[in-house]
Structure 1
């Protein structure tokens, strides 16, 4: 597995004249043209506005903030992003987020986004916005996990999703506290984490009173067995699993998305096993995990999500705050870890 870099460990600098920036922007635009079905071979063949950015970024972004990110131990930046200056009263926009393919899945995109958001907040902007193609699942999941939400389009190109994030209502974005990195786990990774990290999350949830299908005390071996089964479901395409890696490398949280097998239910999925370790609670990780799963569900064609949770549990506040609707409660639906029967509330959320 690729080593994750804490957000605070990557070096982010502002430099619109760095010689590496031309290459990064050229890679971005050539990839983007190919992705849109209008591939070209060279920078010279790009549309004029994009060609100008790749050939003369200092001139193209003269009034904007250009950020470059370098991984620890490297001398050359591996990624870039541009925070466009606010124009005509509109919120500043993050553009041209690009990480070189060989440097991905290391947390560098998160580092760039954190710095861009910090600078936008420091400028006094009430919000920041961006656009992303609907088929770009991983970037869309990243933006959702950072609190961006879909808004009315300001760019009418088909398949372009417009997102916006309010600023000023959360903890200071300039904090040096590293962020947990959320990653979609392969079936092999689920199997590898099952005996330790994932089992520990499930045991911790049961020990702290969460109603997640088990009675206390839950043995680690049984918890690991459940995750081994989840790995098989992941391999079969039935269950997607995301884990949050804490800065020290441990697993701080997990969420899964289960797809319905019935022919008449292929439009919906279920959020299950949203777990955040007690040591990682209170910093918005549950919301980020939920947003990541929701974004992936929408990007892969699901139109409805459902879940159930113990009535009056802390999880209800999370779901209501994330825009989920309570459909009703069932008394004595499931036993809590102590064995007492408790009511459960069913929730749903429409996507798109």
Structure 2
């Protein structure tokens, strides 16, 4: 079971979440009030009519596994005056904390900002809020020059990795360096992705050259993430079934995030990008396999994939030890 994220600025439970956020915020600032009606006008408008207050923005809600009602929310503000979009009103009800809701909300907000072409996302946070600060820093946010001069308010920004679909020519061009480096890094890190260790760059480049040929034939689609410095930080591919009776099906393969770019939700964004393209192009079922017990299993389960079964001794890891694999599927 996973956290469910939805966009709904008119959800009937949203006013309750925003009211709780603002009441706590006012108390922390030393200006406590007891009800939404006592909030400052701007905050009261958000709590009483979120749909109107955030009409131009993206409002996301998170529902914990097994629950019926959302227990968390976040707002991704629309960009203004050429500035990066801003994340506001991240809140998780106390009883639903430690269940991954805040991280899931942030990951989806970042994914949407990147999909819209934003080069960065910014936010503000009071310096006494240690847990949110730790979350933001773990996601790659860093302090920048302040755009808000309120005392004790920190201004943070995260430069976004941009995900783009690679043409066959682009795959071929990136094969010797960026794409090869991603594959070598994965093998060096112990990932079971079809190669024994050590994998040299030339061998990795040859494999990607083959992928470029598959892309030319329409067999495989490729997306890569590019960091703010221009380097490739991740990749995912979607392989289409060749059999006539399986053309509704695709396989997610080679989801790789460079070790230097992990922990920022990039794997989730790459996976969501491939899933969205699969659905948009008529596929209804996706499958994949991954080494049993690997960190990737948490990613897939968190993204709503279902384990279909485990095969023992399926393949060797980079050191040559036979490992089990778990098969997953997802209907899109």
* Alpha carbons of structure 1 residues 86 and 263: separation in structure 2 relative to 1, 3 Å: farther
Contact map agreement 1:198 1:251 (CA 8 A) in 2: yes
Q: CA deviation at 1:93?
A: 4.3
Alignment match of 1:328 (pick from 309, 320, 328): 309
Contact map agreement 1:191 1:227 (CA 8 A) in 2: yes
Q: CA deviation at 1:269?
A: 0.6
Partner of 1:279: 260
- Whole-Å Cα distance in 2 between the matches of residues 175 and 212 of structure 1? 36
**Secondary structure, aligned partner of 2:215:** helix
Alignment match of 1:118 (pick from 87, 97, 106): 87
- Whole-Å Cα distance in 2 between the matches of residues 233 and 330 of structure 1? 27
Partner of 1:88: 49
- Runs of 5+ in structure 1 lacking a partner? 1-63, 65-84, 97-109, 129-138, 146-166
- Whole-Å Cα distance in 2 between the matches of residues 337 and 205 of structure 1? 10
Partner of 2:39: none
> What are the Cα deviations for residues 66-117 of structure 1, in whole angstroms up to 9, with x where unaligned?
xxxxxxxxxxxxxxxxxxx787344834469xxxxxxxxxxxxx99499444
1:171 aligns with 2:151: no
Q: Residues 51-66 of structure 1: matches in 2 within 5 Å?
A: none
> What are the Cα deviations for residues 143-189 of structure 1, in whole angstroms up to 9, with x where unaligned?
7x9xxxxxxxxxxxxxxxxxxxxx99963776323111111111110
Alignment match of 1:308 (pick from 289, 302, 323): 289
- Whole-Å Cα distance in 2 between the matches of residues 325 and 318 of structure 1? 12
* Alpha carbons of structure 1 residues 88 and 111: separation in structure 2 relative to 1, 3 Å: closer
* Alpha carbons of structure 1 residues 119 and 208: separation in structure 2 relative to 1, 3 Å: same
- Whole-Å Cα distance in 2 between the matches of residues 168 and 87 of structure 1? 28
Contact map agreement 1:253 1:286 (CA 8 A) in 2: yes
- Whole-Å Cα distance in 2 between the matches of residues 264 and 87 of structure 1? 53
Alignment match of 2:211 (pick from 226, 230, 248): 230
> What are the Cα deviations for residues 163-220 of structure 1, in whole angstroms up to 9, with x where unaligned?
xxxx999637763231111111111100000000000100110010000000001111
Alignment match of 1:244 (pick from 225, 228, 247): 225
Q: CA deviation at 1:248?
A: 1.0
Q: Residues 191-230 of structure 1: matches in 2 within 5 Å?
A: 191-230=172-211
- Whole-Å Cα distance in 2 between the matches of residues 176 and 117 of structure 1? 9
**Secondary structure, aligned partner of 2:293:** coil
Q: CA deviation at 1:282?
A: 1.0
Contact map agreement 1:141 1:296 (CA 8 A) in 2: no
* Alpha carbons of structure 1 residues 120 and 257: separation in structure 2 relative to 1, 3 Å: same
**Secondary structure, aligned partner of 1:177:** strand
> What are the Cα deviations for residues 210-246 of structure 1, in whole angstroms up to 9, with x where unaligned?
0000000111111101100101111111111111101
